[in-house]
Structure formats: C-alpha cells, structure tokens
Amino acid sequence: MIRLAPLALCLLLFACKSTTSDDAGMAEKTATEMAPVEFADAKYSEIGKAGLAALSSGDIAKWMESYADNAVYRWNNGDSLVGKQAISEYWTKRRTEAIDSISFNYDIWLPVKVNTPANDRQAPGLWLLSWYETTAKYKTGKTMRQWIHTDTHFDANDKIDIVIQYLDRASINAAMTK
C-alpha cells in the first residue's frame, strides 16, 4: 500500500497541473467563437409581455409601437399581413368586431440570438420564442382556448419586423360561428 502512495501523488500532481500556453490558447479560441444560437437579453421577453398585455386590453396602438413599418405577420396556414398599417387594421377590426375579450396565461418566453442560421430560410439576429394559452371570447358568445406559439424577430432598431404564429385555425373558426 505504501508503494501506491508515490503513484497516487504523481496522479494528483498531474491532475492539478498548471495551465499551459496551449490550454490558455484553447480557452481564448473557444471564448471568441460564436455559438450558432445563444440566449439574448431578457428585454425582448418584456417587449413581448407588454405587447400581449396591450392586445388583451384592446390597445392596438400601444401594441403596434413595437412594430417596424415594414413588419410581416405570418400564420402557419400561409396567410400573412405585410406592413405595420395592415397588421394594425387587421387586429383593430378583430378586437372590435370579432373578439369580446382575450387573455394569455401560462406564458413561456425564450429570447435567442441566431448568429449562424441553420438554413437559408432562417433569419439571423434576435428572436423571441413564446408559448402561451390563449382564451378568447367571441362576439358569438363562444369561447376558444388553445396553446399558441409565436416566433418574433427584431430588427437592428429593436422593432418587430417578422412574426410567425402557430395556431389551430379550426378552433377559432368554430368559435366565430353562431
């Protein structure tokens, strides 16, 4: 057993060796390389939360303050709106003519920065990924409840320029029929 002590001491010294210049260079290289995707500033989550609060209260003008003039709003079924004005008109009409009330619960927010797009259809930059349960009471008296996922992209001025929303249009259509 005493003969193992020198071996154990050597192993301990080897395991605790000081950092060499090669190790330092490797750490520096790793620190300067950008990950393809990384977490982004939590301020983007706050922008998203404020937007849902404004939409819920029916304050479309307040909600639209965070949108760029050239914003595009897309749904998973292929429908889309182009331009801040078109998005504002659509949601103003929805909130005044179709939806009595809308609320968002159990929300999850994930701000990310895409440094290296995975494909040519993915926009680099700042994205806010969000999931929430949406409950909407329609003018028909019917209520729709579903989970909605929204991907929101921000331009260089921290304005929303792309929204992609994933939802079940059938449950919305059913709630809108009398």
Domain boundaries, the chain: 37-176
38 contact partners, CB below 8 Å, separation of at least 6: 112, 113, 115
pLDDT beyond 50 at 54: yes
Averaged pLDDT for residues 87-115: 97
pLDDT in tens, 64-86: 999 999 999 999 999 999 999 99
Per-residue model confidence (pLDDT) at position 12:
39
Residues in the chain: 178
% of residues, the chain, pLDDT over 90: 79
pLDDT tier at 34, thresholds 50, 70, 90? confident
Reported confidence tier of residue 4, pLDDT bands at 50, 70, 90? very low
Please give the torsion angle defined by the CA atoms of residues 28, 34, 39 and 42, in that order, rounded to the nearest 10 degrees. Answer: 80
| Cα(1)–Cα(74) distance, integer angstroms | 72
* pLDDT tier at 156, thresholds 50, 70, 90: very high
Per-residue pLDDT, averaged over 139-165, amounts to 98
DSSP-assigned states of every residue in 64-118: HTTEEEEEEEEETTS-EEESHHHHHHHHHHIIIIIEEEEEEEEEEEEEEEESS-S
Average pLDDT over residues 144-153: 98
> Can you give the pLDDT at residue 27?
52
CA dist., res. 131 & res. 106, Å (int) = 8
Q: How far apart are CA 77 and CA 64, in angstroms?
A: 23
Report whether pLDDT(29) > 80.
Answer: no
3-class SS of residue 3: coil
Which pairing describes strands 67-75 and 160-166: parallel, antiparallel, or unpaired? parallel
Inform me whether the pLDDT recorded for 2 exceeds 50: no
Query: Region 128-152: what's the mean pLDDT?
Result: 98
Please report the pLDDT score of residue 122 as a whole number: 86
The model carries a pTM of: 0.81
Could you please state the CATH topology (level 3) that the domain comprising 37-176 is classified under.
Nuclear Transport Factor 2; Chain: A, (3.10.450)
| 8 A C-beta contact, residue 149 and residue 169 | no
